[in-house]
Amino acid sequence: VYDNYGYHFDVMEFKERQKKLKIHYHFTCTCDACINGWPLREQLPSLFNLCGDTQNRIESALKICHEYLHYALRAEIPPELFVGLTVLNNTIKYIMDMSYMPTIETVDILRTKRIVYHLQ
């Protein structure tokens, strides 16, 4: 079972996340981000620093990500939503196959998906 309690690793420090989850939901989180000490978004590596050959492969997905984010910030549902979300999902899988720890690009794609899903 997967659930999101609203305390995202990319915007909230580990100790603060753990404290809030304990107070509000009465458990100690053992997700990958908490167990492995993933840093905040600003401290994550860029995918392009990890592996330069992948740039062409993910550029189209990042373009869709930025376009969808612009729609979402205006509270508009993007055109061809299913196709775009499929591209974003496949790109996340591709990135995670290369690097277990998230990158700035992975976090940005996931953040965009969260915003777009809330519009529906």
Range of the domain at 103: 44-119
- If asked whether residues 68 and 19 sit together in one domain, one would say no
**Which pLDDT score is estimated for 99?**
72
Residues 77 and 91 reside in one and the same domain: yes
Distance (Å, whole) CA 54 – CA 49: 10
Instruction: Clarify whether residues 115 and 70 are in a common domain.
Output: yes
* 53 & 34 share domain: no
Please indicate, yes or no, whether the overall pTM of this predicted structure exceeds 0.85: no
> What's residue 25's pLDDT?
93
Mean pLDDT by 10-residue block, N- to C-terminus, for the chain (120 residues)?
74 94 93 92 82 69 83 84 84 79 86 81
Q: Are residues 24 and 68 in the same domain?
A: no
Other CB atoms within 10 A of residue 32 CB = 12
Note the helical H segments in 26-80. 32-36, 47-50, 55-73
- Specify whether 34 is located in the same domain as 50: no
Number of domains in the chain: 2
